[in-house]
Structure 1
Amino acid sequence: MVKRLIVVFIILLVGCTAQQDESNVKQLEQIIAKQQTTIDQLQEKNKQLQKENEQLKSEVNQMTSSSLLSVALDVVEALKNKDMNALASYVHSTAGVRFSPYGHVDVQNDLQFSASQLPSLWSSTQVYQWGVYDGSGDPIQFTFQDYFDRFVYDVDFANPHMIGNNVAVGTGNMINNIQQVYSNSSFIEFHFTGFDPQYNGMDWRSLRLVFEQENGQWKLVGIIHDEWTT
């Protein structure tokens, strides 16, 4: 009799243990299901945050681009008015501004001036060598004012046919190395497709204004004149 009771007790005990295990398994399954739901929600939230982040980046890029264009328009207006004091206020404080007569920037020979030098340059009679002429190789020797009239604002760039934002619109035989020389910069190009129909566009002109960030502001580091070259 006692043996039977023991057997029955063991059977009951085993049954209870099995039920408990089954209950524990169900609880674990419920916990796992809840955790999976939480993970799914977090992943969905992460996707949404990534989407919002990309949208913010796009808005920042648009604002930055718009700000750059606005500064470039102010600079070209200063050039149009031959206002060297206004121009100087946009020049990078440490890099100064480099003047390049053609699309290929010559870092060895293209002249650079600081912001403080610009106002006095306009009235200076000193003749500088600004590079060499395309084709002949003869030295480009001008006062600042004469160089300005020939290789900076020789046409009305404030009212161009086209404006390129970090895009070189005018292209010729000379290699454009703006990205190599100004690797951390952005530029705005003011472009004329041509003037006299008989030249079929070979009389195009471009002025590229190159900027770098300084203390959160776009500052002028390069003025590149470009035209058709041999």
Structure 2
Amino acid sequence: MQKTADVFKDIENLNWEGIAAHVHEEKGLIFSFYANLGSYDSYEVKFTKLEVANLGEDTRSYIWGDGFDEKSFEYTPNDYVNSYLLKGYYSKEVLDYSVITYNEAAYVSGGIINTIHEHYPEAIYVDYFAPAPEGDDDKFHHWQALRFVYEEVEGEWYLIAIVRDVFNP
């Protein structure tokens, strides 16, 4: 849990070298736009540990995913973090990831299925969940989760994926 708190703080500060310190040496780090890891439409972007350390200076745009209207979300790494990991897809406000769970989703969507344990059976994950705003029934779908996925190597847990989950009918 503490490692994930450190990684999340590094994400907030765009401290890519700090994030890279936790990344698996051989597997690198996958960013998955949706929760269905390993599927054709999860839009996984993979970086080596060294590449992660240098993402702050990376001005290339990557396609991180697409929306319901098939619009591609093409951003630099810093812009992706600021636009889709720290902010909500619908509101564009900074999210309050106030619910944190260990190795299970805080909220199970009826849309895209969380496949972390199927894709990485030896992995564990920490789920940071930002609930939908209370009191507004029209925004029930404005929730988002970030799942930090780890695998163990010689007693140490290394980050292998950051998985974003959102409402998807």
TM, length-normalised to structure 1: 0.64
Deviation at 1:220, TM superposition (A): 0.2
Output aligned runs, 1:56-67, within 5 Å.
Answer: none
**SS where residue 197 of structure 1 aligns?**
coil
RMSD: 1.9
Residue of structure 1 in register with 2:36 after alignment? 104
Is structure 2 residue 136 aligned with structure 1 residue 136?
no
- Quote the Cα distance in structure 2 between the aligned partners of 1:214 and 1:165: 19
8 Å CA contact 2:31, 2:46 repeated in 1: yes
Give 3-state SS (helix, strand or coil) of 2:118's partner: helix
Larger Rg: 1
Aligned to 1:85: 17
Q: CA deviation at 1:195?
A: 2.5
Bigger RCO (CA 8 Å, 6+ sep): 2
2:99·2:129 contact (CA, 8 Å) conserved in 1? yes
Find the partner of 2:58 among 124, 129, 135.
124
Distance, in Å, in 2 between the alignment partners of 1:114 and 1:71 is 19
Paired residues in the alignment total: 160
SS at match of 2:126: strand
| 1:61 paired residue number | none
Aligned equivalent of 2:145, options 200, 203, 206:
206
Unaligned residue ranges in structure 2 (runs of 5+): 89-93
3-state DSSP of counterpart to 1:122: helix
Q: Of 76, 82, 85, which residue of structure 2 is paired with 1:149?
A: 82
Give a deviation string over 1:181-201, Cα, whole Å, max 9, x none.
Answer: 111100000111123632353
Distance 2:61 2:10 in 1: 23
Shift of 1:150: 2.5
**Structure 1 or 2: larger helix share?**
1
Q: How far apart are the structure 2 equivalents of 1:182 and 1:136?
A: 30
Is 1:163 the counterpart of 2:100 in the alignment? yes
Give per-residue Cα distances to partners, 1:91-123, cap 9 Å, x unaligned: 000000100112122456411111111232222
The alpha carbon displacement at 1:125 in A equals 1.6
- Among 151, 156, 162, which residue is 1:223 paired with? 162
Deviation at 1:138, TM superposition (A): 2.6
TM-score (norm 2): 0.85
User: Is the CA contact 2:24–2:160 (under 8 Å) kept in the aligned structure 1?
Assistant: yes
